[in-house]
A and B are shown apart, each in its own frame.
Chain A
Amino acid sequence: MASLGELERAVMDLLWAGHEAATANTLRDMLAQSTAAHGGAAGHEGKDLAVTTVLTVLSRLEKKGLVERERGMRPHRYQAVSSREDHTAELMHEVLGSAPDREAVLARFIGSVTESEAETLRKLLGHS
């Protein structure tokens, strides 16, 4: 059985690729298919995957604010809150931004540099 973390990743990959809302049942079938497609011993694991497990994964993702549920329709249909690119941009904004409190959250190889400083470094690079 794949870990919840791996399943979260797999579910998000499906939702990001699909561009439309999907029910837990559909997602379970897609997950089972993709595991079967990878063949071998992994094949039967996909079939064992219960819909309740998928629902657990979805509610975890919902709590993290990554997935939203369409209200008023049964069975519930889930979709990604924003695209993979938007999430990547959000992360990179956090990394590249220059808020002073950001500096304590992660340690960057190079802090923000000004354009003129980058120019100096480019010249340096030309010489080496």
Chain B
Amino acid sequence: MFWTSYFLAVLAIVLAWPVPILLSRAHWPARDPFTAMLLWQVIGLAGGLSMIGAMLVYGLEPVGDNLIAGLRALAGMVLYNAPTTSLGFWHLFALSAAALLTAHLVFTLLLTYYKIERQRRRHRELLALLASPSADGTGTVVINHDSPVAYCLPGGARSVTVLSDGLMAALEPAELRAVLIHENAHLNQRHHLLLWAFAAWRQALPWLPTTRLAQEAVNSLIEMLADDVALRTESKATLIKAIAIVASGSAVPQAAPLGPGGLPGAGLQLPDGAAGSGSASTTASRVSRLLSPRPPLPVGLRATVVAVCVLLLAMPTALLIVPGLLG
């Protein structure tokens, strides 16, 4: 039982620091965004699991041979006032930290969900009054604004894709179709759930810089996934042109927020690199991926990554649960 906590601690540290950094620098995710997305989710899940598991196993070490026996003994202490003398200071410290971290992660996840939902509801309320339904089908509305803007607001059956007048005017029908397919792909593939989970992960552990890397990588990967769906029916040239038109018309300085009615592109001078945020590099990597496509990941390599994913999740789970089931 003792070595288990050390192994889990090492796994937690490796997943919290070097692995996300390496993955965020790798080039292969652009060739296989789906597998890369899977890997990011597994890193987050397995990282959290081994972090909490390591502390739990260490703290319960004196009272049980395995996690299940240990938790049973702990329940006896908490609920039935069984003697706690077998637990030293560091054991209690580790147990409290495990409980606090779990509560913190769950609470942040719920709080983030609540905040996002509240903002979406307000946005949807205003859209209901300001936007008019589009001829392009149900679930698509048009808002009266000059900048070329397209986005989707997820919300189950009330999900809506929003296009601006400026966008409709700037794009050819085929390009508009590519944009709509792209946005609908976000909705169909439930990308908002990924965005939510990784936003919460970053919110919960802001001192861990790799949570920012993970969020940026996920933001970028969902765009690639949606682009790939658009490429199934629309040509590459159409999609690139749509991206270029929308991007060149919607450039805004990222430091200063846009004032009411302020239009982008009016005398904005930004020094290079003044705004090296994730979304800017996302657009660049999307376009370069479309311009000079690289072959998809070989099947063998892809299978290896998937196997690593399974292993990463199975290992901490097995280490935590199996000894208890055997014992």
Contact = CB atoms under 8 A, between A and B. Distances in A.
Interface of A: 5, 8-9, 12, 64, 66, 84-98, 100-101, 103-119, 121-122, 124-125, 128
B257 A111 contact: no
Given A97-B257, A110-B250, A110-B283, A5 B128 contact: yes
A112 B279 contact: yes
B153 interface: yes
B76 interface: no
A87 B144 CA distance: 11
B28 interface: no
B254 A98 contact: yes
B154 A107 contact: yes
Given A105-B119, A112-B280, A117-B283, 7 more contacts: A101-B112, A105-B153, A106-B153, A109-B151, A109-B242, A114-B253, A122-B244
A109 B270 contact: no
Contacts of A122: 244, 248
B116 interface: yes
B256 to A, nearest CB: 10
A84 B129 CA distance: 9
B36 interface: no
A4 to B, nearest CB: 11
Nearest to A5: B128
18 contacts: A5-B128, A8-B129, A90-B126, A93-B257, A96-B250, A98-B279, A104-B199, A107-B192, A108-B151, A109-B183, A110-B247, A111-B279, A111-B283, A114-B251, A114-B274, A121-B244, A122-B248, A124-B244
A26 to B, nearest CB: 20
Interface of B, secondary structure class, is helix
B106 interface: no
A128 B237 contact: yes
Contacts of B199: 100-101, 103-104
Given A9-B128, A87-B129, A107 B222 contact: yes
Interface residues of B, number: 78
B151 A106 contact: yes
A122 to B, nearest CB: 5
A91 B264 contact: no
Interface of B: 112, 115-116, 119-120, 123, 125-130, 143-145, 147, 149-154, 162, 164, 179, 182-183, 186, 191-192, 195-196, 199, 202-203, 215, 219, 222-223, 226, 237, 240-254, 257-262, 264-265, 268-270, 272, 274-275, 277-280, 282-284, 287
Given A5-B128, A105-B119, A97 B258 contact: yes
B275 A112 contact: yes
10 closest Cβ pairs, A-B complex: A111-B279, A118-B251, A89-B260, A109-B150, A104-B199, A104-B195, A121-B244, A107-B186, A108-B151, A118-B248
Contact of B123 (A106, A108, A110): A106
A93 B260 contact: yes
B270 A116 contact: yes
A96 to B, nearest CB: 5
B39 to A, nearest CB: 20
A121 B258 CA distance: 21
Contact of B282 (A84, A97, A100, A111): A111
